[in-house]
Chain A
Amino acid sequence: EAQVTQNPRYLITVTGKKLTVTCSQNMNHEYMSWYRQDPGLGLRQIYYSMNVEVTDKGDVPEGYKVSRKEKRNFPLILESPSPNQTSLYFCASSLTNTDTQYFGPGTRLTVL
């Protein structure tokens, strides 16, 4: 089944404790993105990757890192999480930026 998977689905952590949210797709897509969804703000792109080893900042990259060592995986790293990073995070993939994006189920992160 074609899908985007994210882990973990729920995470409660404390300020400053490094964490990684994994994202994997099995559709051989080139373009992958991370978004955060906050009430009243919609989805905001954090980082995106056009293909392996090529990433670029979205609209809200501060406090996040990404890597794209393999086509299928695009982990999101929070080196030192802060409470303002409490949010719902979505990973998405598509053939290119102009094609249909397929979204993961979301990761609800709470930073205390």
Chain B
Amino acid sequence: AQSVSQHNHHVILSEAASLELGCNYSYGGTVNLFWYVQYPGQHLQLLLKYFSGDPLVKGIKGFEAEFIKSKFSFNLRKPSVQWSDTAEYFCAVTGYSSASKIIFGSGTRLSIRP
């Protein structure tokens, strides 16, 4: 079955701490991977995406993610979080075909203590 697992439901960190949010997927064939963020009161927006090539992908606001094919993972990282990173983060996967579904994870709520 196609699925995305985000095991961390709620993460609480202090400012300047390092962040790693887990994402594991199950999806047949070649995949494309995404991280989206939902800041309080705002639309969902793209943080970064992986299609092919370098498995280390850099996104906006200092975020990066690493695609590890053997582990079916696409973890999100940031070396030093800020209070403004408080948001909900969603990992998503889709297939190579234009007729593919898009599967989202259940989300991780990140709270940053100032």
- Chain A residues engaging chain B, CB cutoff 8 angstroms: 30-31, 33, 35, 40-45, 48, 50, 56, 58-59, 90, 92, 96-98, 100-106
| Residue from B32, B45, B102, B106 in contact with A33 in the complex, judged by beta carbons closer than 8 Å | B102
**B51 A98 Cβ-Cβ under 8 A:** yes
> Is B86 an interface residue when CB atoms closer than 8 A count as contact?
no
User: Is B12 in the interface zone, CB < 8 Å from A?
Assistant: no
Check if B90 sits within 8 Å of A48, measured CB to CB.
no
Q: Contacts A41-B106, A59-B103, A101-B44 known; list 4 others, CB within 8 Å.
A: A40-B9, A42-B6, A97-B101, A103-B45
Q: How far is the CB of A87 from chain B (nearest CB, A)?
A: 14
Known: A40-B9, A98-B94, A98-B96. A104 touches B43 (CB 8 A): yes
Residues from chain A with Cβ under 8 Å of B32 in the complex: 97-98
Pick 24 A–B contacts, CB within 8 A, sort by A. A30-B98, A31-B98, A35-B104, A42-B4, A42-B105, A42-B106, A43-B90, A43-B92, A43-B107, A45-B101, A45-B103, A45-B104, A50-B99, A59-B103, A90-B44, A97-B98, A97-B99, A97-B102, A98-B51, A98-B94, A98-B96, A98-B98, A101-B102, A105-B43
**B34 contact set on A, CB distance < 8 A:** 100-101
Across the interface, name the chain A residue whose C-beta is closest to B96: A98
Please measure, in the bound complex, the distance between the C-alpha atom of A23 and the C-alpha atom of B88, giving whole angstroms.
23
**B99 nearest in chain A by CB position:** A50
Q: How far is the CA of A96 from the CA of B34 in the complex (A)?
A: 14
Interface residues of B in 24-62 (CB under 8 A from A): 32, 34, 36, 43-46, 49, 51
Please tell me if B100 contacts chain A, counting CB pairs below 8 Å. yes
Chain A residues within 8 Å of B101, by CB: 45, 48, 56, 58-59, 97
Cβ-defined contact, A56 with B99, below 8 A: yes
CB distance from B24 to the nearest CB of A (A): 14
CA distance A96 to B44 in the complex (A): 17
- Please state if B102 and A103 are interface contacts (CB–CB under 8 Å): no
With A31-B98, A50-B98, A105-B43 as known contacts, state yes or no: A43 contacts B104, CB within 8 Å: yes
Which 6 A-B pairs give the minimum distances between C-beta atoms?
Answer: A42-B106, A43-B104, A103-B44, A98-B32, A42-B107, A100-B46
